[in-house]
Amino acid sequence: MRTSINTLPSQYRTLTRSRLTASQIQRHKASLPKNFSDYESIKHDFNPQIPEYFNFARDVMDKWAEKEKVGQRAATPALWWVNDRKQEIQWSFEELGFHSRKLANVLSGLCQLNMRDRLFLILPRIPEWWLVNIACLRTGTVLLPGTSQLTARDILHRLQTSGAKCIITDESIAPLVEDVASQCPSLQSKILVSNRNRDGWRNLGDLMNNVASDHECVETRSDDPMTIFFTSGTTGLPKMTQHSHCSYGIGLTVNGRYWLDLTDQDVLWNTSDTGWAKSAWSSVYAPWIQGACVFIHHMPRFDSSTVLTTLSSYPISTFCTAPTAYRMLVQEDVAKYKFKSLQHCLCAGEPINPEVMKKWREATGLDIYEGYGQTETVLVAATFKGMKIKPGSFGKASPAYDVQVVDDDGAVLPRGEEGNLAIRVKPLKPFSLFTEYTVMKTEECYRGDFYLTGDRGFSFFFLFIYHIELINFTSNALIEHEAVAESAVVGSPDPIRGEVVKAFVVLTPEYRSHDKEQLVKDLKTHVKKMTSPYKYPRKVEFVEQLPKTISGKIRRVELRKREQQ
């Protein structure tokens, strides 16, 4: 059963417009695209105009709220949130506007944040995360999202590097912030999302109860900074990747309209963690550009049966999750679930193996459409509705970019040759590409007329091979351990995750006689401490030597082939 709105925190007991039950929204499965006819039409249709001034909250969110008032939008919520305790929130665009304006007054008034000031946000999939996103847009505050997997060391680096003046988080992260806050002179406000108070923190609920609901959105230029994500660098600590109000706010139209193929009648469930750019892609901008409903199921951890039950219990029309999740789902008896509303299934983040796609299709009658992109971009390439799905490929270039495979000097390679996946930036840089790597030299990622994505692949129907930065980052962390003389990191097949990071390690002479099982544990722990917990090598193999070229360069291609055998 759903809970009454009166059981929610007091700051959310304001608007009481009627709510929908799952049975009140009926849909029928459809395989044909709704927003385009075929791939060629997408390339011709996508031609967004970039105004001098643009603000997503004012120009998109508030416009949908106006359409709601006059009955020009479907009756679905704008945000539909549930959790494992049977709590539920449904907010319209009007209600999102009401709450986000109050929060905007907290940021600009009580926290004294000005345009371009930076706010660090670490929250799980709770409604406040979405409110902070919108409030930052209204105030011109630059948002820095972070995952709850961050360590105290990660938080320190992000606060010091960004100069963030405010952090908003929950009780699980607060102790980590307290450990490093004294080393962050720019940090002025610490705001806690909790039903309890904590010394040294201001409670978000209390703050929102004491501010007005009227707020005038600031005037932001299209090229003003909007958000910054920290992404792993090839060496050293993560770098800041900055996007403008138009690069995500307008650029992600290509995701919402063409890849996700959304309308205002759709309910989209994207399972990405709130700390990643994919959450901005598919849980904020892409769906709301189209006026669709963003659905969230806040689960403590991924559970296959819960996911399948949710898909069959709620009118979710579009489902996007990681290939790893699909691999876990197809191990269940998927056919026993009835997905009455589900029409479109997608995945991103890593390649999905053909066997999983086949099992999902057999159980549901639905294909899985792959998408490829990165924090620095919007959708780079994908399989779109109406396109023949080719196993092992993530499709064709999105209309946002001219995507090519180039050599290390930026020269375009013949079709079928392996090289660097790249985006053409000359003579005109795409507006939907990130603004810059703040602090680091942005020029390092450009070769000739192209931006190098850091991924390798083949053209013409793009085949993904591996991500260069993650490989290098893990290798660099390993080499800092005193037991490691050399290391090489590659992707290795895995029955659940599809592919995991594997490290081949040559030990220093003094460690060759040490207990190997203990060394594996030590190396994994070391990488977790040096980077983030999710980047450690799942597999470690000790070898006498690594395959190399005559010039001494490690031949990872041989190691990859070995893993595929």
The tens digit of pLDDT for each residue in 435-478 reads: 988 766 667 789 999 999 877 776 545 554 445 455 556 777 88
The tens digit of pLDDT for each residue in 386-402 reads: 998 887 778 899 999 99
The tens digit of pLDDT for each residue in 93-105 reads: 999 999 999 999 9
The tens digit of pLDDT for each residue in 286-345 reads: 999 999 999 999 998 889 999 999 999 999 999 999 887 898 899 899 999 999 999 999
- Tracing tokens 């904590």 back to the chain, one arrives at 198
User: What helix, strand, coil percent values describe the chain, rounded to 5?
Assistant: 35, 25, 45
Spatial CA neighbour of 294 closest among 146, 76, 59, 14: 76
Higher-confidence residue of 4 and 494: namely 494
Contact (Cβ atoms closer than 8 angstroms) between residue 442 and residue 485: no
pLDDT of 355 reads 84
The verdict on pTM exceeding 0.85 is: no
Of all residues in the chain, what percent carry a pLDDT higher than 70?
A: 87
Contact (Cβ atoms closer than 8 angstroms) between residue 248 and residue 379: no
Higher-confidence residue of 87 and 352: namely 87
The tens digit of pLDDT for each residue in 5-21 reads: 333 444 454 443 445 55
pLDDT of 498 reads 66
Query: Which domains, and CATH codes, for the chain?
Result: 480-564 (3.30.300.30)
Average pLDDT, the chain: 88
How many angstroms from the chain centroid is the CA of residue 562? 31
The lowest-confidence range among 59-63, 347-351, 538-542 is: 347-351
3-state SS of 499-511? EEEEEEEEECHHH
Question: What is the C-alpha separation between 256 and 292, in angstroms, rounded?
Answer: 9
Whether 53 shows a pLDDT value over 60: the answer reads yes
Question: What is the C-alpha separation between 269 and 42, in angstroms, rounded?
Answer: 24
Confidence of residue 235 (pLDDT cuts 50, 70, 90): very low
How many angstroms from the chain centroid is the CA of residue 510? 42
The tens digit of pLDDT for each residue in 147-185 reads: 998 999 999 999 999 999 999 999 999 999 999 999 999
The tens digit of pLDDT for each residue in 400-413 reads: 999 999 998 999 99
| DSSP-based three-state secondary structure for 6 | helix
Whether 490 shows a pLDDT value over 60: the answer reads yes
From edge to edge, which strands make up the β-sheet containing 396-397? 88-91, 79-83, 293-298, 267-270, 318-321, 344-348, 368-372, 381-382, 396-397
pLDDT of 22 reads 53
CA dist 217 → 137, 250, 284, 344, 541 (Å): 8, 18, 18, 35, 55
Rg, the chain, Cα only: 24
The tens digit of pLDDT for each residue in 244-273 reads: 999 999 999 999 999 999 999 999 999 999
Angle 62-69/93-105 helices, nearest 10 degrees?
140
pLDDT of 1 reads 28
Angle 468-479/516-530 helices, nearest 10 degrees?
120
- Cβ-Cβ contacts under 8 Å for 565 (sequence gap 6 or more): none
Q: Which two tokens stand for residue 310?
A: 């949710």
